[in-house]
Amino acid sequence: MKTITLFGCLILFGISTISSAQNQIDINELLSRFDESHMGAITDVFTSEELIVLEAHYAALKNDVNNFDNRGPKIRIYGPENVSGNFGFIDTMGPGVFNTVGPSGTADFDGAGAIMPGSTMGHVIDNAGNFYEVDIITGQYIQVGMVIPPAGENFTGMEFNPNNGTLFAISTDGTTNTSTLSTINPTNMTATPIGNTGLRLPIALSVNNTGEIITYDIDDDILYALNPNNGLANVKGSIGFNADFGGGLTYDPNSGNTYMTSYNPAIGDTQLRTVDTNTGATTVVGTINPGTTSQMAWGGVVNSLDLGSEDVNLSNFQFAPNPASSRIELRAASMIEEVQVYGILGQQLLSASIGSLSGVLDISTLADGTYLLTVQIDGQKGTYHFIKN
């Protein structure tokens, strides 16, 4: 077992300049902290001055780190880059460049998230239990409520079952072998515990096309399968390196690959890895933002080609109000052809032909909750989310 250290806030030393602070920072002392396990953000453990020293140290150890594939993004993993505080994506064929979409909008550490299969909407729970929806195309975070984890625990990973839309989450107290597998209802924002996993620091989840739930523990660096009926963990095998801080797992139905984004203290950066879910072994695809002590605490796979016209920003389209109670007013510079409303599991609930520059959509029959609105204008589609209350 590794020594577990949880950090709340760090006291900044009263040093007048960054350069003088760096001169007094002992790189060996910084590297020794990686012998411990730290749940959460790297910025909770190292000051900005210390991160600069670490970046310089690891940069000196690197050779050619330009591993971006110039064929361009196809399969993307969307999520936060926690050190810079931005939301964006990497290309699985060349993860060296983190492409920023916008700032992360969470009030606390952005550590547990998942993207609804087949959509452009993500769900995030931060360490304070705040529940957000994220439009991955615009990067906009909207806080929609709170999800309460089991007592004394924080959510550290989420993932949708691609077969039925069930949203699973894992939480831990970070200090004992108490962590819980739960399901989350995104509509009423409630968590239903399934059972204790028996793990100490599980920090991510993935669910493949057979419904198998996978996590990895940064205390023992082992990959586990979780029983969906009682939460109990079953050993798959070692991931093969010393993982630290919050990281992510996500399943790609296009390739059948399970991807891991995990901070590796041996190089001082987060790596994208593929995971053999039979043996636990991982294979490095590339380093994310090399030389920046990057951290990507969750990620969701999106096929950018499958998005098609939904990846278009319909800049002249507006709708209001949001949240709405009974009706939504639509307006655009070109004719709005049609609109549909979908539930969080992808089921179509409403459809209307507009045929005008403006219109009104009656949503009074919908239950309170979160929905997707798709709009077609000039043959192009845009996807938006709204709240019915």
- Strand pairing report for 112-115 and 348-362: unpaired
Q: Look at domain 312-388 and name its CATH class.
A: mainly beta
Query: 183 falls in which pLDDT band (50, 70, 90)?
Result: very high
Higher pLDDT, 64 or 5: 5
pLDDT > 70 in the chain, percent: 83
Query: Which of 157-166, 224-233, 258-267 reaches the highest mean pLDDT?
Result: 224-233
Quote the CA–CA distance of 174 and 274 in Å, as a whole number: 25
Beta-bridge partners for 180: 171, 196
- Strand pairing report for 154-160 and 167-172: antiparallel
Q: Encode pLDDT of 76-110 as tens digits.
A: 899 999 999 999 999 888 788 898 989 999 999 99
Q: Where are the domains of the chain?
A: 3-61, 75-307, 312-388
75-307 CATH choice from 3.40.250.10, 3.30.300.180, 2.120.10.30, 3.40.50.300 = 2.120.10.30
Element (DSSP H or E) covering residue 21? helix 18-23
Give the pLDDT score at 1: 56
pLDDT over 90 at 138, yes or no: no
Burial of 299 (0-12, 13-18, 19+ CB in 10 A): buried
Give the pLDDT score at 214: 98
